[in-house]
Structure 1
Amino acid sequence: MEEFLKREYSLSKPYQGIGSSGSSHWELMGDAMVTTDQVRLTPDMQSKQGAVWSRMPCHLKDWELQVHFKIHGQGKKNLNGDGMAVWYTKERTLKGPVFGNKDFFTGLGVFIDTYPNEEKHIEAQKKRYTPRTQRIFPYILAMVGNGTISYDHERDGRPTELGGCNAMVRNLKHDTFIFIRYVRRRLTVMIDIDGQHEWRDCLDIPGVRLPQGYYFGASAITGDLSDNHDLISLKLYQLTVLRSKLEEDDDEEVTVPSVDNMELIR
């Protein structure tokens, strides 16, 4: 499998492709701002939300996204929030409650959730989950939406979670990365957050059907609690994948996002 960097869908220093002109490839929203070192999606202040979105729809069949990010702030553990998201969606530049993007989205969201809302109801959680299924925050999870599904903020997205992993990503001195690969309808997310320059598995889900022609973006939100949510780079690679004749024949165009063996109805 070969990979080719697609510069028109990538974002890195010195961030020359961001702006309001029609010739720019990326568009800022809300409280997001560009500095010399990062795109700051939100500052470490209450009630902020910001995003950066690609202006161009992506028509690649197989792709890989490497995101270099940093989440840091003054708040002590569990007194910070709320998190950030990486998107591949039909809609773009629409504000909302899902980490700074609209609810009932159509496409893929990968969320870096830094605040456990459900722990407010800790007794209910103890009854509902075993120690094995309880989460540790920050937590990374993926969700596919078809435009009819709401993200359950109070339960930290658990009802619609495809898979996830805990990821201690706040206030680290070393670089932190998330890797999202979509190949042959398989969604894989890996993380490199330990300063070892090694990817470790977070989730791997077969049978994920995403249409072509959606938009990449990243967003973040703060509420009563806050953090700096920084995007340092976002690099998209086109993957060349050899397919068998059977796979080619089975490869009818996807028009609505779905996941095999999972009802996307809530």
Structure 2
Amino acid sequence: MARMMVATYLMFIAYLHSSLSDDGHEMEEFLKREYSLTKPYQAIGVSGSSHWELMGDAMVTTDQVRLTPDMQSKQGAVWSRMPCHLKDWELQVHFKIHGQGKKNLNGDGLAVWYTKERMQKGPVFGNKDFFTGLGVFVDTYPNEEKHIEAQKKRYTPRTQRIFPYVLAMVGNGSITYDHERDGRPTEIGGCNAMVRNLKHDTFLFIRYVRRRLTVMIDIDGQHEWRDCLDIPGVRLPMGYYFGASAITGDLSDNHDLISLKLYQLTVLRSKQEEEDEEEVTIPSVDNMELHRNYYEGEGMSGIAIFFTVLFSMLGLFLLIVVGLVVYSHWNESRRKRFY
């Protein structure tokens, strides 16, 4: 039975890497070992001896690259030394998040990166804020719930999330990641993913082809990919670096990276398509106005609250004035009756 399941999974992978892309164009894929990170992790971190470099509290064991141990206030990362100049690619991430924390008493999560910058510590899952490129985050702690409580529920999220949660963000160097709202203002798509303390393997699948970003997850132990997000119009420049990072705060987890496998996708384009495809220099998303609408909606909500309070106070003041006038007239009439 186990052999049949493995065979089925391999057949599914073969189908996933079939000769057709999502939009029907012919496509081939090739494993790029220079951008892949697999066992036995030989010479990682040794200058000039590996394509990968460790940072912070990350360490290599025989079974994984541990980005952070299950300890407070740790952050670590592993970064490719070589920029990737592939136009279309696919990244398969084998990872594991586990620790002693129960329910939401764990944190904070890990991230997979394709960015212009590398090897820079920071608050965004162990990487710098205001990054340039793509970040795919496996967020294990709901900061937004605490923010809502602190603000006495003045802010109401558009949709309720279940954590852990996977989301993607495209940064252009001027966009910040909002920790208090778990990246919601800049999220281009996401899904819930119960990935902690599982006995079976967990995988993340990131595909970028023909300016379309697709993320899928395999976390149920059934060797089946589940859709997470599929966003057209994502524009990522070539020449950026792949990496993975993680961070812990007051709460912690082991964030383990077992493998990163990068595949080059060769998509056959017509001559006209090649001519129409302009070179991308700044990361962007065609429907980036969604982020602006979100902020505007939030701002309008604040304005609405302000005017509601203002008019309520004016109405109360008017009622008090009218009440005083009525009382004055009533009191004057009462005195005239007695005299």
Inter-partner Cα distance in structure 1 for 2:57 and 2:183: 24
Does the residue aligned with 2:151 lie in a helix, a strand or coil?
A: helix
Q: CA deviation at 1:132?
A: 7.5
Structure having the higher strand fraction is 1
Partner Cα distance (2:181, 2:226) in 1: 26
Q: 2:235, 2:272 → 1: CA distance?
A: 17
Q: Which moved more, 1:249-258 or 1:181-190?
A: 249-258
Distance 1:216 1:239 in 2: 16
Unaligned runs of 5+ in 1: none
**Residues of 1 paired with 2:261 and 2:148: CA distance?**
39
Query: Matched residues in 2 for 1:257 and 1:226: separation?
Result: 32
Query: Alpha-carbon deviations, 1:62-108, whole Å to 9, x = none?
Result: 00000000000000010000000000000000000000000000000
Asked if 1:53 is matched to 2:79, the reply is yes
When residues 249 and 17 of structure 1 are mapped into structure 2, their CA distance, relative to the original with a 3 A threshold, is: farther
1:25-70 Cα distance to aligned partner (Å, 9 max, x none): 0000000000000000000000000000000000000000000000
Summarize deviations over 1:140-178 as a string: whole Å, max 9, x none: 000000000100001000000000000000000000000
Secondary structure of the residue that 2:34 maps to in structure 1? helix
Q: Cα–Cα, structure 1 residues 130 and 152, in superposed 2: closer, same or farther, change >3 Å?
A: closer
Measured after TM superposition, the shift of residue 261 of structure 1 is: 2.4
More helix by share: 2
Taking structure 2 as the reference length, the TM-score comes to 0.75
Alpha-carbon distance change, 125 to 206 in structure 1, aligned in 2, over 3 angstroms: farther
- The gaps in structure 2 that reach 5 residues or longer are 1-26, 291-339
Q: CA deviation at 1:123?
A: 4.9
Supply the distance in 1 between the matched residues of 2:143 and 2:56 (Cα, whole angstroms): 24
For the residues of structure 1 that align with 2:238 and 2:151, how far apart are their CA atoms? 38
Give the Å deviation of 1:16: 1.1
Structure 1, 127-136 or 234-243: larger mean CA deviation: 127-136
Q: What CA distance in whole angstroms lies between the structure 1 residues aligned with 2:143 and 2:198? A: 23
* Amino-acid identity (%): 94
SS at match of 2:152: helix
The 3 A distance-change label for structure 1 pair 170 and 126 is farther
Is 1:86–1:109's contact at 8 Å kept on the other side of the alignment?
Answer: yes
* Larger deviation, residues 20-29 vs 65-74: 20-29
Q: Is the 8 A contact 2:111 2:246 kept in 1?
A: yes
CA gap of 1:243–1:49, structure 2 versus 1, over 3 A, is: same
Q: Secondary structure at the match of 1:126?
A: coil
> 2:77·2:246 contact (CA, 8 Å) conserved in 1?
yes
- CA offset digits 1:117-136 (Å, max 9, x no partner): 01113458996788981100
Contact 1:118 1:125 survives alignment (8 Å):
no
- CA distance in 2 between partners of 1:193 and 1:125 (Å): 34
Quick one: structure 1 residues 258 and 131, their matched pair in 2 at CA, closer, same or farther if it must change by over 3 Å? closer
1:263 Cα deviation from its structure 2 partner: 4.3
With structure 1 as the length reference, what TM-score do the two structures score? 0.95
Greater Rg over alpha carbons, structure = 2
Q: Supply the distance in 1 between the matched residues of 2:28 and 2:43 (Cα, whole angstroms).
A: 26
What is the deviation of 1:248?
A: 1.1
Where does structure 1 differ by over 4 angstroms across 4 or more consecutive aligned residues?
A: 123-132
Contact kept in structure 1, 2:148 and 2:155, CA below 8 Å: no
Partner of 1:95: 121
Q: Is the 8 A contact 2:147 2:180 kept in 1?
A: no
Secondary structure in 2 matching 1:57:
coil
Q: After TM superposition, give the deviation of residue 20 of structure 1 in Å.
A: 2.8
Asked if the contact 1:110/1:141 (under 8 Å) is kept, the reply is yes
